[in-house]
A and B are shown apart, each in its own frame.
Chain A
Amino acid sequence: MGCVSGAEENDPALNQLIDEAVEDLMKLSDAELMAELAAEGADPEAEAQSARNAIAAGVARAGRTRLVAARTAVDRDRTARAVRSPVPIAMRASILERFANDDPKLKSRLTMAARNGEGITEQEMDSILADLRELGVIDDEGNPIER
């Protein structure tokens, strides 16, 4: 949830007219503005109260935004720290092989590692498996998730 509602695009055609009108308003002293309101028969307290309500709504929305952000951070932290039972090494290789068939970049990385006699490190394997879990492609045991 963000702070700016509505995703409309502004056209600059009206910008100068609006800027000049705001500047004219800001040039007035408080007494002059009060005199204008009186001349118009406007109710300053009603206008001020509307502004107070809008401010309160903005503060509440910011609070919700901060709460959502904090909750997301906690969830992310929890996910990162979750202890998962390690997938057996033979299964890890077969999972990677299966995905490598559909992913030329991963396939090329595995082929290169095999050609150099290095093999892929366990750390790299875990990192790729963690990415696949994050994307919801496999579950914690390494089984593919059907979509």
Chain B
Amino acid sequence: MLDLEEIRSALDGLTQIDLVRLRRAGSKFALALDSTVDDLISDAVCSAYSGSRECRRDLPILVFLIGAMRSIAWNAKVSSRKAEREISLDATGTDGRPMVVLKSNAPDAETLILRAEDVALRIAALEDLFADDAPALLVIMADLEELSKEEIMAMNEMSETTYNSTRTRIRRKMERRFPNGWAA
């Protein structure tokens, strides 16, 4: 695993194009979050630097940081599930003495509805963005259904070349529309 000095040195070694790639990858993960791409990059670096995520020696720092951003974005749900089992000693009883109570972050019904509305809003924004590009819209809809590449190609009678160029078109348009993630 890289130590602090090595992480610092690897970060210093990132080239201009590495940094552009880092930011553009981060802007996509930030589409699923309420934080900006810069917050997400900062979180990933902080987790490496504070030791909460370890960077293997054989892994380029750019790949590590992109993996860390992905993990932060995807694992938000897992962390809150763990939090439900944590114990809080902060509360006091009516007699003023400390009480041990279960701390729960389980979302209530209203939170779940708001969250679903929020995701629906993001999906609607993407649909709007590709309203004039039917093949791209079909690929996005298929992604939301978690269909495989083969299923998407078969369903839309796409060649591999058309599939790949549609993917690139989707990515580039997302980059232009959401350069800083969803929140920005």
Contact = CB atoms under 8 A, between A and B. Distances in A.
Nearest to B43: A4
Given A21-B170, A62-B45, A137 B98 contact: yes
Contacts of A147: 92, 96-97
Contact of B22 (A51, A57, A135): A51
A143 to B, nearest CB: 14
Contact of B45 (A44, A48, A58): A58
Given A18-B28, A62-B45, A62-B46, A33 B38 contact: no
Interface residues of B, number: 71
Interface string B56-93: 00000000001000101111110110000000010010
B167 A24 contact: yes
A21 B77 contact: no
Contacts of A82: none
Contacts of A146: 96
Contacts of A80: none
A54 interface: yes
A22 B16 contact: no
B55 interface: no
Given A9-B77, A21-B171, A62-B49, 6 more contacts: A8-B76, A17-B143, A17-B144, A48-B20, A58-B49, A59-B8
